[in-house]
Amino acid sequence: MRGIVKRFGDTVANDGVDFTVRPGTIHALLGENGAGKTTLMRVLYGLAARDGGEIFVGGGRAEIRSPKDAIRHGIGMVTQHFSLVEPMTVAENVMLGAEGGFRLDLAAARELVAQASERVGIEIHPQVRVDSLSVGERQRVEIVKALSREARVLVLDEPTAVLVPQQVELLFEALRRLREQGLAIVFISHKLREVTAISDEVTVLRRGQVAGTAAIGDVDERELARMMIGRLAAGVRRESASAGGEPVLSVEGLEAEDSRGLPAVRGVSFEVRAGEILGIAGVSGNGQTELAEVLSGLREPTGGTVSVDGEPGRIPEDRRASVVGELSVAYNLVLEDLDSYRRGPMLDERAIRRRADELIERFDIRARATDSVQGLSGGNMQKVLLARVLAHEPKALVVAQPTQGLDVGATEYVRSQLLAQRDAGAGILLISEDLEELLALSDRLVVMYEGELVGSFEAAAADVEEIGALMAGLR
């Protein structure tokens, strides 16, 4: 792939990316979330149309406009979300999309499955229904599917995200066998440990550009981590806060599962004091979402304790799901305190309107009180949520990805509001994937990796390389 460019609106997901994979190698594509890895592979597989650059397969130019073209060129992809039909058997699933003609040739499909599973080195029974297979086994069915289409290039997108350690080892063995057979394998990951364990070559993407390409033997893990995170401006540090007051949010041994029932938060303990911002860094998918949900009251923990001084103010990760889109801005602003606007049995609409206008003014919300919230821009929606939360002047705030998807102006505004709250004595827990944001706002910083907290830093003494290494799973 040469000079690949892919834009989504104003965002450049891939900015002139060069990427080469040789047969008989496992080439890792490493980077944080949002670095552009998945986008790049989606372009390769025809799931996204590129805006610039060229693709060459086996030496010749390849025009790939859909997965069908990609498959024709011998490219197979195993995504994070499997595309298997659960009530059907393995053989039927392998056949789907490649039936070729009117009659179903199940015998041929069984043969294909048998051959492919031999290549992979693990027994896969073609007659078994997919819904009785474990996640690891289903992943192998996906690989078999790709192989049965005579793939010469196999792309795996974060394959270990859904696997437990023993299954990871099995997967790696299968990949090594396939490598011996001359397959070119692309392994997308953000986990350094795995990348160094399995790959021969690695390309690091950062913010849509290639930060570096190397053979595994030639580069050490610290360097890779640095390539992933990059050199961040040492500035953007405001004067360090006071020593911090009483704890306003304490978490002890917290445990929680994700929506699949897998453990996401594994025994997390920390404390947020008044007048300080505690930042939690980490690549998305390491339990931060679940942690934020537990602290916001949206998810029940499976263990541990949480104690908060008063009701915590919450800025949620998914702002669209946290407002009632079809209600007005005014109602959304007062939704939590409707009872205090009652006059007898009726709602005092004028009082609500007055309060709404007040908040719109104070929080610079560019909308009318009567507008329905779903039509607002992301920035204004976030301001509505901010206004609702901050109007109560909470002592503790749980904030998750507050500036995700916001333009520069809205981002500045939200960050300044958070700092203002901190200066007024609130204790803020800030969960963000944006390391720059964390470094700019936090007084203390911890890193979350695979559900646990690793490493704790005073912001002033934060070593970006160290943080990056922890985010990628080192030590």
> 96 or 327, CB closer to another protein?
327
The single residue among 338, 420, 424, 460 that binds another protein, judged by CB under 8 A, is: 338
Cα Rg of the chain (Å, integer): 25
The single residue among 96, 162, 327, 419 that binds another protein, judged by CB under 8 A, is: 327
Contact 186, 155 (CB under 8 A): yes
Q: Spell out, one character per residue from 127 to 166, where the chain touches another protein: x when CB under 8 A holds, - when not.
A: ----------------------------------------
> Phi and psi for 302 in degrees, rounded to 5?
-100, -5
> 366 or 392, CB closer to another protein?
392
Q: How far is the CB of 344 from another protein (least distance, A)?
A: 10
Question: From CA 251, how far away is CA 418, in angstroms rounded?
Answer: 21
CB atoms within 10 A of CB 183: 23
Ranges within 175-194 binding another protein (CB under 8 A): none
> 336 or 361, CB closer to another protein?
336
- The gap from C-alpha 109 to its chain's centroid, in whole angstroms, comes to 36
Number of residues engaging another protein in binding (CB under 8 A):
24
C-alpha torsion sign, points 117, 123, 126, 131: negative
Does 100 bind another protein (CB under 8 A)? Our answer is no
> 340 or 456, CB closer to another protein?
340
Q: Which residues contact 166 (CB under 8 A, 6 or more apart)?
A: none
Q: How far is the CB of 49 from another protein (least distance, A)?
A: 12
- State which amino acid sits at residue 62: A
Quick one: which of 331, 266, 462 has its CA closest to 323? 331
- State which amino acid sits at residue 98: A
Does 321 bind another protein (CB under 8 A)? Our answer is yes
The single residue among 19, 270, 331, 449 that binds another protein, judged by CB under 8 A, is: 331
Among the residue ranges 99-107, 153-161, 324-332, 359-367, the one whose residues contact another protein (CB under 8 A):
324-332
Does 45 bind another protein (CB under 8 A)? Our answer is no
Does 347 bind another protein (CB under 8 A)? Our answer is yes
- Mutual orientation of helices 221-229 and 464-471 as an angle, nearest 10°? 100
Question: From CA 118, how far away is CA 471, in angstroms rounded?
Answer: 37
The single residue among 93, 296, 382, 421 that binds another protein, judged by CB under 8 A, is: 296
The single residue among 81, 339, 408, 461 that binds another protein, judged by CB under 8 A, is: 339
Q: Spell out, one character per residue from 264 to 293, where the chain touches another protein: x when CB under 8 A holds, - when not.
A: ------------------------------
- The gap from C-alpha 127 to its chain's centroid, in whole angstroms, comes to 35
DSSP states along 94-128: HHTT---SSS--HHHHHHHHHHHHHHHTS---TTS
The single residue among 130, 323, 376, 472 that binds another protein, judged by CB under 8 A, is: 323
Q: Give 296's DSSP letter.
A: T
Q: How far is the CB of 322 from another protein (least distance, A)?
A: 4
The single residue among 322, 382, 403, 404 that binds another protein, judged by CB under 8 A, is: 322
Helical H segments across 323-447, by residue range: 329-334, 349-362, 378-390, 408-423, 435-441
> 342 or 475, CB closer to another protein?
342
Q: How far is the CB of 282 from another protein (least distance, A)?
A: 23
Does 297 bind another protein (CB under 8 A)? Our answer is yes
Question: From CA 344, how far away is CA 465, in angstroms rounded?
Answer: 61
Helical H segments across 165-255, by residue range: 165-180, 192-198, 221-229
Mark residue 417 as left, alpha or beta (left: phi above 0; alpha: psi -120 to 50; beta: remaining): alpha
- 141: part of which helix (H) or strand (E)? helix 135-148
The single residue among 335, 420, 424, 460 that binds another protein, judged by CB under 8 A, is: 335
> 94 or 385, CB closer to another protein?
385
Q: How far is the CB of 321 from another protein (least distance, A)?
A: 5
Q: Give 326's DSSP letter.
A: T
Contact 451, 286 (CB under 8 A): yes
The single residue among 59, 165, 217, 345 that binds another protein, judged by CB under 8 A, is: 345
Does 82 bind another protein (CB under 8 A)? Our answer is no
> 92 or 293, CB closer to another protein?
293
> 46 or 468, CB closer to another protein?
46
> 332 or 403, CB closer to another protein?
332
Ranges within 385-444 binding another protein (CB under 8 A): 388
Does 326 bind another protein (CB under 8 A)? Our answer is yes
Does 93 bind another protein (CB under 8 A)? Our answer is no
Question: From CA 45, how far away is CA 149, in angstroms rounded?
Answer: 14
Question: From CA 180, how far away is CA 182, in angstroms rounded?
Answer: 5
Q: Which residues contact 313 (CB under 8 A, 6 or more apart)?
A: 389, 390, 392, 394, 396, 397, 398, 426
Q: Give 213's DSSP letter.
A: E
> 92 or 317, CB closer to another protein?
317
Ranges within 299-318 binding another protein (CB under 8 A): 314, 316
Binding residues for another protein, rule: CB under 8 A, are: 296-298, 314, 316, 321-327, 331-332, 335-336, 338-339, 341-342, 345-347, 388
